[in-house]
């Protein structure tokens, strides 16, 4: 630490070069921050911790086939099952086909099962008492300027009402905020009573899209899933039960291998970055051969010279990288807001910061390693003689 000013002085010995390198590093880590946000946005459903004790039961053959509502009581009777809820896909759009709304008709106990949906008690009560009541996530409400008390029409792309009209009236009775740890996108949902949906729609009667099963013990997930699937084996509505995480992950996977795309881009970026900074470091050390020899002459040990050059590399990466990540932290919410809800990027989280800083240190040490070795092995006499 006491050599910090020396390292600092060495780093800014050639201001323009250091500045140019810093901007390159900044660009690389800006990309890293943004792409990592994209990756998390697409995979967070697969490893969110809040839903570990929930199973999703869908039709085995196809996501679009619904299940009979009568299955609920039989599933509830299986040991290890705490509660059974259900939901239907509504396919809502608001005013214009571009304004897709993630809307579900849900069972009455849905909110008890999804504790991460935090609704004020009075709004919860109003929701329970209003047949056409709906609750919406905070960012969805903000997107369309909805307030509690608004009456809004939502058009279903799939289900007409009994009179043939596909526009369904709803009363917004509550606006919820998702608790920490909820899957990304939870605050974009529009939830309303399944009973309203079931009574008023023209086609389906007594069917549900999927069941949500809350377990008494998350460790028993496999056994319970098998027991549920056994209930309907060989019937015309065979089911497939999987953990909520697996269900979400399989969805993300169907969109495409986002992880692979992000990974390859980052690979290309960091490979270039390492080359570039390694080149800068090598230049910097080559130029300072004389100075390093003087340092050694006046008593700096080889090891402290090594440490100084290494930390110069790490410091360079840390300055550029932290600035880049900070810029990403500023830009990501702006992009999310600017995309009008199309792209929901989570803010840069601790995980990204930790991963980023580890990367900075590793890359810094890697690019500093060769020049540092050179500096350590420097023979004072040769160096001073310019040989």
Partner 1 sequence: MKAMNKFFFGLGMLVVVAAFLALWISLPWQGVVIIAVGLALWMVFTRRGRQTWSVTRVGLSTLRQRIGSSSVVVIGIAGVVGVLVAMLAMSDGFSATLQSAGNDRTAIVLRGGSQAELNSVMDRDSANVVMQAPGVRKDAQGRPTASGEIVVVANLPMKGDPNSDANVPIRGVSDAVWGLRDQVRITQGRKFKPGLRELIVGEGARKQFEGLDVGKELRLAGQTWTVVGVFASGDVLESELWGDTQSVASAYRRGSSVQSITVLLDSPQAFDTFKAALVSDPRIKVDVTTTKEYFGKQSEGLTKVLRIVGIVVGAIMAVGAVFGALNTMFAAIAARSREIATLRAIGFRGIPVVVSVMLETMLLALIGGAIGAGIVWAIFNGYTASTLGANFSQVVFQFKVSPALLWTGLKWALAIGFIGGLFPAVRAARVPVTTALREL
Q: To 5 degrees, how large is the angle CA 368–CA 327–CA 324?
A: 10
> With respect to partner 1, which residue has the nearer C-beta, 4 or 64?
64
CA pair distance 21, 316, nearest whole angstrom: 8
For residue 119, the minimal CB distance to partner 1 (Å) is: 29
For residue 28, the minimal CB distance to partner 1 (Å) is: 6
CB-count exposure of residue 16 (10 Å: 0-12, 13-18, 19+):
exposed
SS3 label, residue 212: strand
> With respect to partner 1, which residue has the nearer C-beta, 91 or 333?
91
Provide the 10 A C-beta neighbour count for residue 2: 5
C-beta pairs of 353-356 under 8 Å, 24+ apart in sequence: 353/325, 355/36, 356/29, 356/32, 356/33, 356/36, 356/321, 356/325
Which spans of this chain sit near partner 1 (rule: CB under 8 A)?
16-17, 20-21, 23-25, 27-28, 30-31, 35, 60-65, 91, 97, 155, 157-158, 164, 166, 203, 234-236, 238, 240, 250, 253-257, 264-265, 268-269, 271-273, 275-276, 279-280, 282-283, 342-343
> With respect to partner 1, which residue has the nearer C-beta, 82 or 370?
370
> With respect to partner 1, which residue has the nearer C-beta, 83 or 241?
241
For residue 25, the minimal CB distance to partner 1 (Å) is: 8
- The conformation of residue 375, written as its DSSP 8-state character, comes to H
For residue 209, the minimal CB distance to partner 1 (Å) is: 12
For residue 115, the minimal CB distance to partner 1 (Å) is: 29
For residue 251, the minimal CB distance to partner 1 (Å) is: 8
> With respect to partner 1, which residue has the nearer C-beta, 27 or 138?
27
Question: CA torsion 133→197→88→161, rounded to 10°?
Answer: -120
Provide the 10 A C-beta neighbour count for residue 126: 18
> With respect to partner 1, which residue has the nearer C-beta, 59 or 123?
59
- Please say whether the beta carbons of 152 and 136 come within 8 A: no
> With respect to partner 1, which residue has the nearer C-beta, 6 or 322?
322
The tokens for 316 are 């360079």
For residue 120, the minimal CB distance to partner 1 (Å) is: 34
Q: Are strands 151-156 and 207-208 parallel, antiparallel or unpaired?
A: unpaired
């Amino acid at each position: 630490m006491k050599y910090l000013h020396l390292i600092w002085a060495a780093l800014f010995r050639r201001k323009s070069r250091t500045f140019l390198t810093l901007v390159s590093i900044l660009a690389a880590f800006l990309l890293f921050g943004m792409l990592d946000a994209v990756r998390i946005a697409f995979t967070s459903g697969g490893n969110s911790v809040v839903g570990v004790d929930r199973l999703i039961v869908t039709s085995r053959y196809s996501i679009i086939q619904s299940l009979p509502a009568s299955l609920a009581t039989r599933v509830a009777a299986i040991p290890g099952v705490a509660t059974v809820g259900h939901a239907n896909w509504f396919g809502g759009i608001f005013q214009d086909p571009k304004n897709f709304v993630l809307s579900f008709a849900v069972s009455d106990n849905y909110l008890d099962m999804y504790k991460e949906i935090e609704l004020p008690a009075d709004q919860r009560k109003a929701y329970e008492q209003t047949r056409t009541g709906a609750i919406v996530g905070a960012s969805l409400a903000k997107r369309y300027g909805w307030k509690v008390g608004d009456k809004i029409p939502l058009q279903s792309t799939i289900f007409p009402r009994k009179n043939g009209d596909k526009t369904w009236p709803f009363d917004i009775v509550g606006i919820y905020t998702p608790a920490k740890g909820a899957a990304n996108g939870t605050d974009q949902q529009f939830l309303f009573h399944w009973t309203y949906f079931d009574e008023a729609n023209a086609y389906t009667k007594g069917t549900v899209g999927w069941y949500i099963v809350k377990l008494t013990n998350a460790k028993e997930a496999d056994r319970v899933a098998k027991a549920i699937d056994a209930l309907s084996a060989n019937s015309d509505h065979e089911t497939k039960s999987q953990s909520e995480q697996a269900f979400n992950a399989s969805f993300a996977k169907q969109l495409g291998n986002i992880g692979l795309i992000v990974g390859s881009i980052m690979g290309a970026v960091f490979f270039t970055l390492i080359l570039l900074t390694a080149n800068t470091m090598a230049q910097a050390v080559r130029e300072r051969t004389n100075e390093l020899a003087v340092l050694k002459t006046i008593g700096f040990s080889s090891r402290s010279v090594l440490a100084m050059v290494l930390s110069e590399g790490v410091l360079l990466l840390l300055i550029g990288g932290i600035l880049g990540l900070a810029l990403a932290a500023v830009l990501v919410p702006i992009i999310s807001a600017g995309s009008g809800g199309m792209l929901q990027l989570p803010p840069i989280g601790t995980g990204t910061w930790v991963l980023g800083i580890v990367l900075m240190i590793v890359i810094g040490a890697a690019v500093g390693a060769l020049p540092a070795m050179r500096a350590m092995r420097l023979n004072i006499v040769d160096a001073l003689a310019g040989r």
